[in-house]
Structure formats: C-alpha cells, structure tokens
C-alpha cells in the first residue's frame, strides 16, 4: 500500500533482467472446456434459425421495411428524435447541475426545495408527466407577466407561446434533470474533500474551485451514467405521443403504419433507426470517458496509450493523489453504478 516506489516496482510480466537462472516456461496441456463449445454451437444454431425464419416470414413485411427505411418522412422524424434528445438533455444537464449544487447548499430552504423537486419528478412516471405537459395550455391558458395579484403588463396565449415540440422538450428535460441532479451530486461528492481545501487555500474562489478542480474530477464519475441517460433519453422520446407530439420516429412510423394497415415493418424501421443512434452514442461515450480519465488510472508514462481501456475509465475511487500513487495500476472498484437508482418507464 505504500505511496512510494511506484516507478521502481517491477511489472509482473517482466522477470529479472539478468535472468541467467530463469525457470523454463510452462508447457502443460491446456484444460478443455467441452461445454463451452456445445453451448456456443447451440446458440449460433438458434440464432441462425431465427434469422432464416424471420427473413421469410410474411408478417415482418420486408418489402415495406425496405420501402420506408429511407423514406423522407422517416428520416425527418429521426431528425426530430435527435433534436428532442439533444435539447432535453442539454436543459436537463444544466438544471441537474443547478439542482445538485442546491442540494449541497448549506441553506436549508434551498436544499429543501431541491429535494421537493426531485421527490415529485422522480416519484411520478414520465408518461404521466408528459400527459400533464400536454394539458399545460388547458391548465394555464394565458401566461401573464407583471406583479402578482395586479393587472398584468403582458399577457400571452399559452398556445401561441409554446409549441407542442417545446412542451415535449420541457417535459422530458424536467423529468431527466431530477436524475441528472443525483448523478452530478454523486460525482461532486466523490471528489476528495482535500481538493476543495487545497484550491481554497490557494485563494481560488468557490466558482473557480468548482469549475477548475471539482467538476473536472467529478466528470469521471458523471460521464458513464450520463451516457446511459442520453441513450435512455433517445428511447424515452418515443413517449412524447402522450403530449401528443408525433413527428418523431415512433409517432411518425405509427402514423404511416395506420395508413398502410401494416404496423410491423414500420416498428422495425423505427427500431433500426433507434439502434443506429444508440450505437453511435455508445462509441461517443467511449471517447468522452477516455478524455476525462486523464491523470488517473493505470496509464504510465512508459506505456501510455496502451492501457487506457474502458475499465480504467470507470474507476472513480482513486480521487486523491495519495491513493492514486499507491496503486500500481490498481483499478479500484467500479464506480459506474447508476447513483440515481432509476428505472425508466
């Protein structure tokens, strides 16, 4: 456990360099695993059967799949799905950071309000919340600006002011921000108290300490679950039909399928697009995690770049320099568990 000698400690793979008395390499007969092979063959056979069958099955309507997969209406809908995801995630992250800081505040009222917000938005289903947002204009038919309980200076019709698209964005964002708040909070709390102290002792302000010292380190903890949230959000956008907003992927493909009386191929079309997007997001997440794992984990100067795998990136535990130097590539425990403990839908 010593914090020392990290440069000297030998890597296990390297045996003594003046190895005149090196032992002979082991040449044993490898243990066989017959069951592994059998299970693999059975699984591949089952998969092949399923694919062959699906390719011929009428109900899947592959001609319609081919016809609509690149239909302009569908690709436009895919664009809306992306827009919904991006806008609502951006707003959710900003709100989430705010709520997380509020929850860590020493002011009990600020803390309490943040808690109340999380309680409501995490305690009710997104679908129900979206239906509520759809009824927003019914509940608040005008939006007035002025001093409360006096004649308003300005009054807007809610329907003129907020489109259904933005209601969908708001609905998704407010719900998501409650989960983001918990993720950000866990990230901030994971940063060693000494970091804050060192920055403060150097004369850095609270804001500088947060943005330069705490948040960059919290990112390692925040990014993996946030990536999951983005992927999850992409799929949750399919619920905005509850508002009702139906120009995104799922809504659009369902509308088309109603017209052509063939729901299954269009479900497949939508699924294919969702899969494409989630796959791209997963790749992006990998590179983001890599970017924010600088200075921690296993990468040694002598072998930098070879060992920064995904496993290194999720190690949030080594947050103090003292501990970090102690570890000779000890990855620590996996901190990527979703701190919000959420279940979507």
Supply 24's token pair. Answer: 């002979």
Residue with structure tokens 């690149």?
70
Question: CB neighbours of 111 closer than 8 A, spacing ≥ 6?
Answer: 102, 103, 105
Nearest alpha carbon to residue 261 among 57, 54, 61, 53: 61
C-beta of residue 159 within 8 angstroms of C-beta of residue 137: yes
CB of 287 to other proteins, least distance (A): 17
Contact flag: residue 300 with other proteins (CB under 8 A): yes
Q: What are phi and psi of 182, to 5 degrees?
A: -65, -40
For other proteins, the closer CB: 6 or 158: 6
Contact flag: residue 6 with other proteins (CB under 8 A): yes
CB of 282 to other proteins, least distance (A): 24
205-264 residues in contact with other proteins (CB under 8 A) are 205-206, 208, 212-213, 216-217
Contact flag: residue 105 with other proteins (CB under 8 A): no
* Residue 1: C-alpha distances to residues 10, 42, 281, 287 (Å): 15, 47, 38, 31
For other proteins, the closer CB: 214 or 269: 214
Contact flag: residue 296 with other proteins (CB under 8 A): yes
Contact flag: residue 291 with other proteins (CB under 8 A): no
Contact flag: residue 4 with other proteins (CB under 8 A): yes
For other proteins, the closer CB: 77 or 213: 213
DSSP assignment of 100-165 equals HHHHT-S-HHHHHHHHHHHHHHHHS-HHHHHHHHHTHHHH-SEEEESSTTS--SEEEEHHHHS-HH
Supply 162's token pair. Answer: 């907020």
When binding is defined by CB under 8 A, the residue of 43, 54, 128, 202 that contacts other proteins is 202
For other proteins, the closer CB: 125 or 332: 332
Residue numbers at the binding site for other proteins (CB under 8 A): 2-7, 192, 194-195, 197-206, 208, 212-213, 216-217, 294-297, 300-301, 318-322, 324-325, 327
């Amino acid at each position: 456990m010593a914090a020392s000698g990290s440069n000297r400690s030998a890597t296990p793979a390297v045996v003594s360099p003046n190895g005149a008395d090196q032992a002979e390499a082991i040449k044993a007969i490898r243990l066989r695993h017959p069951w592994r092979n059998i299970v693999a063959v059975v699984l591949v056979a089952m998969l092949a059967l399923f694919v062959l069958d699906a390719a011929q099955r009428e109900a899947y309507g592959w001609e319609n799949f081919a016809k609509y997969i690149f239909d302009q209406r569908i690709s436009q809908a895919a664009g809306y799905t992306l827009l919904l995801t991006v806008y609502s995630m951006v707003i959710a992250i900003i709100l989430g950071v705010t709520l997380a800081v509020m929850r860590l505040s020493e002011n009990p009222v600020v803390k309490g309000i943040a808690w109340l917000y999380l309680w409501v938005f995490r305690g009710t289903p997104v679908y129900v919340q979206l239906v509520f947002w759809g009824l927003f204009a019914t509940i608040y038919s005008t939006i007035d600006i002025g001093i409360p309980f006096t004649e308003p200076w300005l009054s807007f019709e809610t329907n003129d002011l907020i489109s259904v698209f933005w209601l969908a964005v708001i609905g998704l964002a407010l719900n998501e921000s409650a989960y983001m708040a918990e993720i950000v909070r866990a990230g901030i709390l994971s940063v060693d108290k000494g970091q804050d102290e060192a920055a403060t002792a150097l004369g850095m302000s609270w804001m500088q300490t947060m943005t330069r010292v705490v948040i960059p380190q919290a990112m390692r903890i925040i990014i993996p679950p946030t990536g999951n949230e983005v992927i999850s959000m992409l799929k949750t956008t399919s619920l905005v039909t509850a508002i009702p907003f139906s120009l995104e992927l799922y809504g659009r493909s369902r509308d088309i399928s109603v017209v052509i009386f063939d729901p299954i191929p269009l479900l497949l079309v939508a699924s294919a697009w969702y899969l494409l997007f989630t796959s791209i997001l997963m790749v992006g997440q990998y590179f983001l995690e890599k970017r924010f794992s600088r200075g921690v984990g296993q990468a040694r100067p002598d072998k930098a770049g070879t060992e920064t795998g995904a496993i290194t990136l999720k190690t949030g535990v080594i947050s103090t320099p003292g501990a970090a130097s102690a570890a000779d590539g000890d990855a620590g425990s996996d901190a990527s568990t979703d701190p919000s403990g959420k279940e979507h839908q």
